[in-house]
Amino acid sequence: MPNRGGQISAEVLLNFLRYGRRSIRVYKPAPVPDEMIEQLLEAGRWAPSASNRQPWRFIVIRDEAVRREVARHAGVFFIRWAHVEDAPLIIALLGDTGNRMYRAFLHEDVGLAGSQIMLQAAALGLGTCWLGGIDRKALAGVLQVPERVEIVGLLTVGFPAEEPEPPPRKPLAELVHYDVYGSRDVNAPASPGLVTVGWLRRIISRLRIRIRL
């Protein structure tokens, strides 16, 4: 298969993932140029999705009045995230729920698109911050989102006015299990656990056919 996109060395990519992207909550007032916005959206467009259904939808929010209203509802309980109002650009990440079968994968698909937008932003020298603690129902009204489309999250975007240090990360030894949950030794023998589902799901699992989508 031809390498159409060029090759990034594994070491460069890993270092970029470690140190190249931070969650930015203080932004310069300068607007984000249109050509950069287009690159962000293009990065999101090329994210993987279940059966390549590409359920994501993006709302690019630049209008001051709309941004101000979005900022009002970007919070939980009595907390409102201050950086939403300060960011010159907000990208709302939405998913089309119209296909019932694929609805279960919607957040994963949109999350992958959002992640690629964030990485592309970092490569362009932009800062981003993902917001999940939001009033989705109120925001759906503000942004005139139809019923079949769900707001998954918001991304604030802009030129960083801060340089936060990389936050601490848990060690891999605390996060990784081998073969089955609870097995910390990479060389330890393992065996599958018991399946605790009903009879119908057992029958369905036996009748499943292999396909590639």
Q: Is residue 163 part of a domain?
A: no
Q: Are residues 103 and 196 in the same domain?
A: no
User: How many other C-beta atoms lie within 10 A of the C-beta of residue 91?
Assistant: 26
Q: Which residue has the tokens 């030894």?
A: 173
Q: Is residue 1 part of a domain?
A: no
Per-residue confidence at 197, pLDDT binned at 50, 70, 90? confident
pLDDT, residue 90, reads 98
Residue 213 has pLDDT above 70, yes or no: no
Same-domain status, 123 and 191 = no
137 and 191, same structural domain? Answer: no
Q: Which domain holds residue 52?
A: 10-158
* One domain, residues 133 and 201: no
pLDDT digits (tens, 9 = 90+) for 77-108: 888 888 999 999 999 999 999 888 888 999 99
User: Inter-axis angle of helices 34-45 and 106-123, to 10 degrees?
Assistant: 140
As a whole number of Å, the end-to-end CA separation of the chain is 18
If one counts the domains in the chain, the total is 2
The pLDDT score that the predictor gives to residue 204 is: 80
pLDDT band (50, 70, 90) for residue 3: low
Q: 2: which strand partners?
A: none
Given this model, what pLDDT does residue 1 score? 40
What long-range pairs does 13-16 form, CB within 8 A, spacing at least 24?
Answer: 16/119, 16/122, 16/123
2 within a domain of the structure (yes/no): no
Of 181, 123, 115, residue with least CA distance to 153: 115
Distance CA 94, CA 145 (A): 9
Residue 57 shares a structural domain with residue 129: yes
Which carries the bigger pLDDT value, residue 192 or residue 130?
130
Please report, for the domain that includes residue 76, its CATH number. 3.40.109.10
